[in-house]
Amino acid sequence: MSSNGKPHVGRWLSPFFLTCAVYFLLWSPENQPSWVGALIKCLPILYLVVFLWTVYPGGSYSLLLQGALVCSAVGDSCLVWPEAFLHGMAAFTVAHLLYLWAFGLTPLKPGLLLPVLLASIPYYGLLLWHLPPDMVLPLTAYSLLLAVMLWRGLARGGSTCWGALLFTLSDAVLAWNLFVHPLPHAHLVVMATYYAAQILIALSAFQSPRLKSN
């Protein structure tokens, strides 16, 4: 505990970075989908759930973040198997809904919607031309939700802002790599920005005025 009554969060973050390193060291494009691989992929996100539960156990904001992280871990597991892509998208849809609930609508900052739309509409408009017919509707709905999550993350500011931006970048690179054209080192970019996004959003719990000393 620090002198001002807030927990030292830095010392709790080492396991997160360690599990990320283990994932990147063990991952290979030749790896076959497996439950072991899915678990290794999910460990950093599951640790963030434990981290929030242990260091910041109280408050609805923290609980909503924990729920979103659990859903994200489910989505991560599904995406290990290409045939479960839509299930993974559904899990991440629930995660973004929980993030939206946590971020709230205040301050509203409607002016931030314009840059979000100016970036999102051309990108997803181009992406839609390359989608299989059965993916158009679910990916359009997911893209709209992701854009709203980005807007609310930007409006909240702090580490939430950067987390929402990196989450959107991760998803954009993933979608382009899957549906438009393979990108060099796409997996590394997708997972690095994704893990960074999740920890930044998790750390936003400590910017909340409702932080309780443990």
Does residue 55 have a pLDDT over 50? yes
Start-to-end C-alpha separation, the chain: 8
pLDDT in tens, 82-134: 999 999 999 999 999 999 999 999 999 999 999 999 999 999 999 999 999 99
Tell me which amino acid residue 102 is: A
- pTM, full prediction: 0.93
Percent of the chain clearing pLDDT 90 (strictly above): 87
Burial of 169 (0-12, 13-18, 19+ CB in 10 A): middle
Does residue 213 have a pLDDT over 70? no
